[in-house]
Amino acid sequence: MGKKSATEGALLCRSFEKRFGSDGIAVPGALCGALYHPVVTQSFPLTRDEALARWRAFLPHVPAYAAGRNYVTMAPQRHVSGLSPAVRLGLITPQEIVRDTLEEHGYQPAEKWLQEVCWRTYWKGWLQQRPQIWRAWRQRVHALRETLPDAVKQRMEAVSAGHSGVAVMDHFARELAETGYLHNHARMWWASFWIHAERLPWELGADFFFQHLLDADPASNTLSWRWVAGLQTAGKTYLVRRGNLERFCEPALLQDTRGLERLEDGCVTAAIPREDLDMSPHALPDLPDRAPEVTGRFGLWMHADDLCLESSPLRSLRPAGIIAITSQPAYDHYRLSPQRISSLHAALQDGAGRASAHFRCPAGVLEAADTAAALGAWLQEQRMDTLVSMRPHTGPVADALPAIRRTLASLGIGLHLVQRPWEAQLFPLACAGFFPYWEKTSRKLREGLLT
Ligand SMILES: Cc1cc2nc3c(=O)[nH]c(=O)nc-3n(C[C@H](O)[C@H](O)[C@H](O)COP(=O)(O)OP(=O)(O)OC[C@H]3O[C@@H](n4cnc5c(N)ncnc54)[C@H](O)[C@@H]3O)c2cc1C
């Protein structure tokens, strides 16, 4: 387990340097003992203004995205947008990103970028049709926590704390905890390392990501972990390989070579977990993609699946008030990191502020243990007889819907859920594999049908 010389380390990363130049990338962070301790500051847009500024700065670089996107640097990443927390929270929408991209560059030079942006919508639509996959993952997380032997739990803690002994994987574990973000390739490597090299349960690796990622998304996270595990696409498993790391990592990331021999090409073999889940799709509910006709006093419920109500189909409504609800018990349930909680609060505050200005009515963020009870109490107090909201996606917010429906029904208050036209058009296409979806979606993009 010798530490390779800097020259050897540099040779390992020839491909990276060939593409970007040996000193083309600034290298923050410092070597502390043998392992990297990434002392990084990386900020992600958590308001709409910041998201739009980040997007405007990235837009000219879209044509270079396809060539650079797989290369991983020390944080902050230079070859990808860093927009995912903002996209996740709906501070900026995929539709806006796609529209601006096509206006600025046209389809062909931006194809890879457009495909990745639409990949997210594919995962969302796929899971929306199979909520049982989300529920099964959460149940397994709780069951495994109860039943796993102590030795496995201790190993999981060591690996997620950055003490696996494979220096580059430990760097990524700490980078995730410190910044709330990892490059896509680093996510793939780390998930594969967890599942196929460490032979740990994918469900708890996915849970570790869900606790820390600022972009933590029930669809992208769960389904990407399933894909790496070999559960999502029959016969396809993603195996981490040293050669791949050497090709795509900035040299500094591999300068400490400890543990790399565990990832030698051919050393990591598939550990495909077994499961017996019904993957068949459920029909999507027939939701309107335009504002409902509401009479009387009504309120808007805003949540972290869509924080840009002023650009939504609800934009022309005249509500009497707007509410968003945060819940400490929910954060505790999902064991969210403090960084993830504060990012949610920042985005909700921003969403409420913009909504108040746009709809010209009071908007607030309320802390409450029980979302359904808090919504019911607010509506009664405000003497409102209807609640309108953008439809939450399969995940934590939508899990509260049955209780919300019951509470509102018991109070005689109506509930209207609305979806964005983007989702109405694309979610039904995400019924099978990505490539049939992309064939239809890219045709719509080229024909200007989605913008
Ligand atoms: C194990 C694993 C877990 C993941 N968990 C999440 C998650 O919880 N939330 C999340 O948003 N993404 C997740 N991803 C997908 C992807 O890693 C991130 O979307 C991407 O790294 C976000 O960084 P970016 O905005 O700089 O990406 P860019 O490369 O700049 O991409 C722009 C946008 O396209 C979308 N996108 C890009 N790549 C993907 C992809 N592979 N799958 C789906 N959408 C993509 C995102 O909305 C992203 O913001 C996961 C991937 C893996 C392998």
Report pLDDT for 217.
Answer: 98
Report pLDDT for 451.
Answer: 65
What average pLDDT does this structure show over 5-20?
40
User: What residues are in contact with ligand 1 under a 6 Å CB criterion?
Assistant: 69, 80-84, 87-88, 116-117, 119-120, 123, 183-184, 187-188, 191, 209, 213, 215-217, 220-221, 224-225, 228
Same domain, 307 and 222: no
CATH code of the domain containing 404: 3.40.50.620
Q: Quick check: 155 and 307 in contact, CB under 8 A?
A: no
Structure tokens at 333: 């349930």
CA distance 417 to 412: 16
The preferred substitution site among 116, 121, 236, 240 for testing ligand 1, maximizing ligand atoms within 8 Å of CB, is 116
In a domain, 284, yes or no: no
Same domain, 395 and 265: no
The residue nearest atom 26 of ligand 1, judged by CA position, is: 82
Query: Chain-centre distance of CA 381, in angstroms?
Result: 35
In a domain, 268, yes or no: yes
Beta strands 386-390 and 298-302 are parallel
User: Counting atoms of ligand 1 from 1, which one is nearest the CA of 83?
Assistant: 25
The residue nearest atom 4 of ligand 1, judged by CA position, is: 221
Q: Quick check: 317 and 355 in contact, CB under 8 A?
A: no
What spacing in Å lies between the alpha carbon of 358 and ligand 1's midpoint? Answer: 30
In a domain, 290, yes or no: no
3-class state of residue 365 by DSSP? strand
Report pLDDT for 140.
Answer: 97
- Residue-number span of the structural domain to which 357 is assigned: 298-418
User: Counting atoms of ligand 1 from 1, which one is nearest the CA of 205?
Assistant: 1
Report pLDDT for 168.
Answer: 98
pLDDT band at 16 (very low <50, low <70, confident <90, very high): very low
Same domain, 368 and 427: no
Report pLDDT for 25.
Answer: 29
Same domain, 257 and 200: yes
Annotated binding site for FAD: 65, 113, 215-217
Task: Render pLDDT for 108-142 as a digit per residue (tens, 0 to 9).
Answer: 999 999 999 999 999 999 999 999 999 999 999 99
Report pLDDT for 18.
Answer: 52
The residue nearest atom 49 of ligand 1, judged by CA position, is: 84
Task: Render pLDDT for 362-389 as a digit per residue (tens, 0 to 9).
Answer: 999 999 999 999 999 999 999 999 999 9
Task: Render pLDDT for 168-211 as a digit per residue (tens, 0 to 9).
Answer: 999 999 999 999 999 999 999 999 999 999 999 999 999 999 99
Q: How far is CA 249 from CA 17, 68, 163, 183, in A?
A: 9, 12, 20, 11
Annotated binding site: 65, 113, 215-217
pLDDT at 6 over 70: no
Same domain, 216 and 317: no
Which class for 133: exposed (0-12), middle (13-18), buried (19 or more C-beta within 10 A)?
buried
Residue closest to 198 by CA, chosen among 229, 171, 227: 229
Report pLDDT for 449.
Answer: 87
pLDDT band at 11 (very low <50, low <70, confident <90, very high): very low
Report pLDDT for 13.
Answer: 38
pLDDT band at 149 (very low <50, low <70, confident <90, very high): very high
Same domain, 238 and 367: no
What is the number of structural domains in the chain? 2
pLDDT at 9 over 90: no
Report pLDDT for 275.
Answer: 86
Same domain, 131 and 248: yes
pLDDT band at 37 (very low <50, low <70, confident <90, very high): very low
What spacing in Å lies between the alpha carbon of 320 and ligand 1's midpoint? Answer: 37
Report pLDDT for 323.
Answer: 98
